[in-house]
Structure 1
Amino acid sequence: MEKKTKCYYFYVLQCCDQTLYSGFTVDLAKRLKVHNQGKGAKYTRARRPVKLIYHECFSTKRAALQKEYAFKQLKRKQKLKYLHEQGIVIE
Structure 2
Amino acid sequence: MKNNVSVWFLYIIRTAKQSLYTGITTDVARRLQQHKNGKGAKHLKGHKDLSIVYQVNVGDRSTALKIEYQIKQLSKQKKERLVLQQPNLEQLLLDFLIL
Q: TM-score, normalised by structure 2?
A: 0.77
Structure 2 unaligned blocks of 5 or more: 88-99
Q: CA deviation at 1:27?
A: 1.1
Rounded to whole Å, the distance in 2 between the matches of 1:83 and 1:32 is 17
Q: CA deviation at 1:82?
A: 1.7
Structure 1 unaligned blocks of 5 or more: none
Moved over 4 A (4+): none
Partner of 2:85: 85
Partner of 1:11: 11
What do you get for the CA RMSD once the two structures are aligned? 2.0
Aligned pair 1:26/2:26, yes or no?
yes
What percent identity do the matched residue pairs reach? 31
Rounded to whole Å, the distance in 2 between the matches of 1:4 and 1:61 is 13
Rounded to whole Å, the distance in 2 between the matches of 1:83 and 1:53 is 6
Aligned residue pair count:
87
Paired residue type of 2:13: L
Q: TM-score, normalised by structure 1?
A: 0.83
- 1:7-56 Cα shifts (integer Å, max 9, x gaps): 10110000111100000111111101100011121110122221111111
